[in-house]
Amino acid sequence: MFSELDENEMDKIYSHSSIKTYDKGEMIFFDTEPYIGFYIVIEGGVKIFKISKDGREHVIHFIFPTNTFAEAPLFEHYDKIRREEFTYPANSMAIENNTRLMLIRSDIFYNLLEKNKTICFKMLSGLSKKLRHLNNHIESLSQGVSVRLAKYLLDELNSSDEKNKGIIELKISKHDLAAYLGTIDETLSRCLKKLQDNNVIIVKAKRIQILDISTLQKTAIG
Amino acid sequence: MFSELDENEMDKIYSHSSIKTYDKGEMIFFDTEPYIGFYIVIEGGVKIFKISKDGREHVIHFIFPTNTFAEAPLFEHYDKIRREEFTYPANSMAIENNTRLMLIRSDIFYNLLEKNKTICFKMLSGLSKKLRHLNNHIESLSQGVSVRLAKYLLDELNSSDEKNKGIIELKISKHDLAAYLGTIDETLSRCLKKLQDNNVIIVKAKRIQILDISTLQKTAIG
DNA sequence: TCTATGTATTGACTTAAGTCAAAGGTTTCT
DNA sequence: AGAAACCTTTGACTTAAGTCAATACATAGA
C-alpha cells in the first residue's frame, strides 16, 4: 500500500502512527468510540462485527495480515471526522493472540492522500474488493445455511496452503464462523455433522478434511 | 462528480459516452456481458440484482438519479477490463419508464482518473457509502422480515418529501421490495397486512401511510 | 370504459432454523 | 497430570418463513 511513498512520507507515517499488540478476545474499538483512524493488520486476525438488540453477534468481515479495516468512513464523513464527532460504525476484536495492528490516524492520512495518487487507487481497489465480497455474502444469506457453509468451505479450500491435501485449518472459531454465516452455533454444528454423516467432510476440531469436493460443490449451488 | 473538470475533459467524456433511455423492465446489462464501463443514472431508477440457481431474484441495490452503478470493478480488475475479459458482476434492469442513463466507458475513465484527484475522492466516497449500506443490510438480514420491513419504511420516511405527513410513495414494486428485503412476495404481503391490522400503517397500492411511528420503531429494533 | 395483463393477496401445508437446557470435548494454566 | 474455563455438540420443542395453487386487485391499452 505504501510502496510508492518517499522517505519523508514514510517517516511522517511512522512518527504519527502506533503499532500495538492485542490478545485474542481483546477489543480494538467499540461502535461507540470516536473515530481516530483506520488499521492495518500486520499479524494475527481481527473480526468486524455488530451486536443486534437481542444480543446476537453478526460478523461482517474477517481481516488478516496486510489488509486494512475501518477505512471506509474516511471518505464518507470527512467533516465529522475532522471535528471528532464520528464513531466507528461497528465493533472490532482480535481473534488471535499476538495480533499486531498499525493504527493510521485520519489527519495524517488525509495529508498523504492529497499528495499521492497511488494510495488513492489502492484504497479504491481495497474498497471494491470488500464491496464485491459483501455482494456475494448478501446473495448467499437468503439461501440455506448448508449452502453458505459449503461455499465457505470451498472458498477456504482454494485459499488454503494444504489445498492439494484437501485440508482446511480454520483460522476462526466455530462461533465466529456461525456469526459470519448468519446463523448460530448449534445450527452450524448440525450442518457440519450432516456433511460428516454423508462422508463429505471429516471434522476434527479446527481441522476439516474434504473427502468429496463434487458433493460439496453441488451443495454450494443451492 | 465531474464538477471540477475543465472543458477539455468534459468534451472528452461527452464525445465518448452515450446517453440512452430505457423502459421499465428493460435490461441494462446481464452478468454474462463483457464489462465496458459504469453508468450514471440521470432519470428514473435501476435495480442491481442476481438470480440464484433456484430462480430467486436478490436485489443488491436500487440506484436513483445522480448516483453511479457498476463502478467497483474498475478498480479491482484493471487488467482484465483492459483486455475485455471481464463481465459485469450482476444484472441490472430499469425499474421505471424513461430511465435515462449515461454510460462512461472504462478506457475514457481511466485516463480521467489519472489526472484528476477530485474524481478519485468522489469515487472513494461513493464506494464507502455503498459499503456502509451493505454492512447494514447484512446485519438486518439475519433478523426477521418484519424487522427489515420496519427499518426500510423508517428509512424511506426519512428521505421522503412527504415526511411530515407520514406518507411514503414506494418508488419500487412490491416484488422488488421483497427481493431487496431478502424474502418473497407472499411474505412481504403478510408482513404489510400484519402492520395494517395493528393500525401501524395503511397500505394503498404504492402509497403507505404511517399511523404509528413509535410502534414501527419498536418493530425495527427487533 | 372495458378488457387484458401484470401485480398483489390469501389459504393450506411443509420445512429450515431458532430456543432452551444439558452434556461432552478441548485448551490452557498451574 | 488435573482442574477450570471455555468451546462445541446433542436433544426436544417452537416458530418464522417458504411452496404451491387459487383468487382478487390495479393499470395501461384499445
Please check the confidence at residue A219 and state whether its pLDDT lies above 80.
yes
Query: Helix B106-115 and helix B7-16: axis angle, to 10°?
Result: 170
The integer distance in angstroms from the CA atom of A68 to the C1' atom of D4 is 37
CB of B183 within 8 Å of any CB in chain A? yes
Residue B57's identity, in one-letter code, is E
Q: Residue A1 — very low, low, confident or very high, per pLDDT cuts 50/70/90?
A: low
- Closest CB from A50, A54, A132 relative to B76: A132
Q: Which residue has the higher pLDDT, A36 or A11?
A: A36
Res A29: pLDDT = 95
Identify the CA nearest to A95 among candidates A3, A184, A206, A191.
A206
Given the C-alpha cell 411514503, which residue does it identify? B168
Phi, psi of A200 (to 5 degrees): -90, -35
Q: Which chain C nucleotides are covered by protein, judged by CB under 7 A?
A: 7-12, 16-21, 26-27
- Closest CB from A73, A117, A138 relative to B134: A138
Q: Is the CB of A133 under 7 A from strand D?
A: no
pTM score, whole prediction:
0.87
The integer distance in angstroms from the CA atom of B93 to the C1' atom of C7 is 18
Mean pLDDT of B189-201: 94
Question: How far, in Å, CA of A37 to CA of A35, rounded?
Answer: 6
Q: Residue A205 — very low, low, confident or very high, per pLDDT cuts 50/70/90?
A: confident
Res B162: pLDDT = 67
Note whether A143 contacts B222, CB cutoff 8 Å.
no
In sequence order, what are the beta bridge partners of A167?
A: A209
Please check the confidence at residue A186 and state whether its pLDDT lies above 90.
yes
CB of A123 within 8 Å of any CB in chain B? yes
Residue A203's identity, in one-letter code, is V
Mean pLDDT of A174-182: 92
Mean pLDDT of A109-128: 87
The integer distance in angstroms from the CA atom of B137 to the C1' atom of D3 is 45
Please check the confidence at residue B215 and state whether its pLDDT lies above 70.
yes
Query: Helix B117-141 and helix A117-141: axis angle, to 10°?
Result: 20
| Residue B7: all three cell numbers together | 472543458
Mean pLDDT of chain B: 89
Res B1: pLDDT = 67
Q: Which nucleotide is nearest to A185 (CA to C1')?
A: D8
Residue of chain B minimizing CA distance to A48: B135
The integer distance in angstroms from the CA atom of A133 to the C1' atom of C13 is 37
Instruction: Tally Cβ neighbours within 10 Å of residue B219.
Output: 23
Mean pLDDT of chain A: 89
Instruction: DSSP letter for B164, please.
Output: G
Burial of A134 (0-12, 13-18, 19+ CB in 10 A): buried
Identify the CA nearest to B56 among candidates B206, B176, B190.
B176
Residues A55 and A77: beta-carbon distance below 8 Å: no
Selected residue of B67, B130, B147, B180 to mutate for chain A interface (largest A Cβ count, 10 A): B130
Instruction: Tally Cβ neighbours within 10 Å of residue B67.
Output: 17
Residues A68 and A38: beta-carbon distance below 8 Å: yes
CB of A135 within 8 Å of any CB in chain B? yes
Identify the CA nearest to B109 among candidates B208, B214, B17, B213.
B17
Please check the confidence at residue A23 and state whether its pLDDT lies above 80.
yes
CB of B111 within 8 Å of any CB in chain A? no
The integer distance in angstroms from the CA atom of B210 to the C1' atom of C7 is 23
Q: Is B146 helix (H, G, I), strand (E, B) or coil?
A: helix
- Closest CB from A53, A75, A138 relative to B124: A75
Question: How far, in Å, CA of A200 to CA of A209, rounded?
Answer: 9
Count of helices and strands (H, E) across chain B: 9, 11
Please check the confidence at residue A162 and state whether its pLDDT lies above 70.
no
Res B56: pLDDT = 86
Read off the pLDDT of residues B142-185 as tens digits, 9 standing for 90 and up: 888 999 999 999 999 998 876 667 899 888 989 999 999 999 99
Read off the pLDDT of residues A26-73 as tens digits, 9 standing for 90 and up: 999 999 999 999 999 988 899 999 988 778 899 999 999 889 999 999
Res A201: pLDDT = 93
Strand order in the sheet with A91-94: A27-29, A91-94, A46-51, A57-63
Question: How far, in Å, CA of A63 to CA of A61, rounded?
Answer: 6
Residue B15's identity, in one-letter code, is S
Strand order in the sheet with B201-204: B167-169, B207-210, B201-204
Res B171: pLDDT = 87
Residues with CB under 7 A from strand C: A 54, 56, 143-146, 182-184, 186-187, 191, 204-206; B 25, 142, 173-175, 185-186, 188-190, 192-193, 203, 206
Query: Helix A145-158 and helix A117-141: axis angle, to 10°?
Result: 140
